[in-house]
């Protein structure tokens, strides 16, 4: 698999998460459009949908940035129009809590609880020794994934975002996974767009399932996704570690860590997903 140029024009994250307020009697209601090129086998990426909902929460609340979000995925929408409704549960001085729902054709697709606050990019962490070790492999030394899986499924979103895996994380592409259940590499948005707290909600779900490094499988649908945004990132791509924790009962839980180019952790996530192996 080599670096391929996208076959369609790039759609910026800010473009594919654009919201239009419905106004009137529903000040927290927004129209949005699920972009067909931000999909995997025709199904929209879960982090992408949560990024939309994060934007709605910030638009309704009193704070500038999402710092935590927890989403449950009820039904996968198809590309096309959706409605997002955000409701303030508590407006606090330093943080606020909101509920967000993404629906299509009057059917709820994603339900989320969101906490907003104000983040900075300047404060240094007080303590960070509990984090996994940071890789030393440079962005330029990683290979970009092409927009298809080893069995030919179209992964349109990989023609949009730039996901680059380190050489040791790319063994699954040749049918020789290492068995460690870990993928490391870099992520950049289309058009070199900078990351913000809403796009970091997507970043923790942007990589292929870490289970590909154990055994290749088909779709690994997210059931629940929790994200913490820790700081405003510096410009440029972000470094990602995606790690599988346990596969049991046709479920897998994964952890994800995202660092900016200053080597600061800017987001972390965990998710529970369905999987069929063996």
> How many beta carbons lie within 10 A of that of residue 192, not counting itself?
12
- Residue 170 domain boundaries: 13-119+137-274
| Side-chain-facing half-sphere of 16: CA atoms under 13 Å | 30
Q: How many CB atoms lie within 10 A of CB 43?
A: 14
In a domain, 131, yes or no: no
In this prediction, residue 110 carries a pLDDT of: 98
154 neighbors 43 (Cβ within 8 angstroms): no
Is residue 104 included in any domain, yes or no?
A: yes
- 3-class secondary structure per residue, 200-220: HHHHCCCCCCHHHHCCCCCCC
Q: Is residue 130 part of a domain?
A: no
Task: Kindly state whether residue 51 falls inside one of the protein's structural domains.
Answer: yes
CA distance 28 to 30: 7
- The answer to whether residue 3 sits within a structural domain is no
How many domains does one find in the chain? 1
Q: What is the pLDDT of residue 175?
A: 87
Q: How far apart are the first and last CA of the chain?
A: 25
Burial of 183 (0-12, 13-18, 19+ CB in 10 A): buried
This model's pTM is above 0.85? yes
Q: What is the spatial distance between Cα 222 and Cα 204, in angstroms, rounded to a whole number?
A: 12
Looking at residue 28, which CATH number applies to its domain? 2.40.160.210
* Residue 1, in any domain of the structure: no
| Contact assessment for residue 199 and residue 41, using Cβ atoms and an 8 Å cutoff | no
In a domain, 60, yes or no: yes
For residue 55, being part of any structural domain is answered with yes
Check residue 1 and give its pLDDT: 37
pLDDT in tens, the chain (278 residues): 334 444 589 999 999 999 999 987 787 999 999 999 999 999 999 999 999 999 999 999 999 999 999 999 999 999 999 999 999 999 999 999 999 999 999 999 999 999 999 998 777 899 999 999 999 999 999 999 999 887 778 899 999 999 999 999 999 888 899 999 999 999 999 999 999 999 999 999 999 999 999 998 888 999 999 999 999 999 999 999 999 999 999 999 999 999 999 999 999 999 999 999 87
């Amino acid at each position: 698999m080599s670096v391929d140029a996208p076959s369609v024009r790039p759609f910026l994250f800010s473009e594919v998460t654009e919201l239009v307020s419905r106004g009137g009697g529903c000040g927290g209601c927004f129209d949005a459009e699920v972009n067909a090129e931000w999909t995997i086998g025709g199904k929209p990426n879960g982090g992408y949908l949560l990024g939309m909902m994060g934007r709605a929460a910030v638009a309704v609340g009193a704070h500038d940035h999402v710092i935590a979000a927890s989403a449950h995925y009820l039904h996968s929408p198809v590309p096309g129009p959706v409605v997002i409704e955000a409701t303030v549960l508590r407006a606090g001085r330093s943080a606020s809590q909101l509920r967000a729902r993404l629906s299509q054709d009057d059917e709820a697709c994603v339900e989320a609880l969101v906490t907003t606050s104000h983040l900075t990019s300047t404060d240094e962490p007080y303590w960070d020794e509990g984090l996994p070790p940071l890789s030393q492999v440079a962005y330029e030394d990683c290979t970009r994934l092409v927009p298809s899986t080893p069995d030919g499924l179209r992964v349109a979103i990989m023609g949009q975002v730039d996901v680059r895996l380190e050489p040791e994380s790319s063994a699954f592409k040749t049918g020789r996974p290492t068995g460690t259940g870990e993928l490391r590499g870099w992520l950049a948005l289309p058009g070199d767009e900078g990351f913000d707290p809403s796009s970091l909600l997507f970043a923790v779900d942007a990589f292929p399932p870490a289970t590909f490094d154990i055994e290749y499988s088909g779709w690994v649908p997210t059931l629940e996704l929790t994200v913490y945004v820790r700081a405003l990132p510096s410009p440029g791509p972000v470094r990602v570690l995606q790690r599988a924790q346990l596969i049991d009962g046709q479920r897998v839980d994964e952890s994800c860590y995202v660092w900016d180019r200053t080597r600061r952790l800017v987001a972390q996530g965990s998710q529970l997903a369905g999987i069929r192996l063996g």
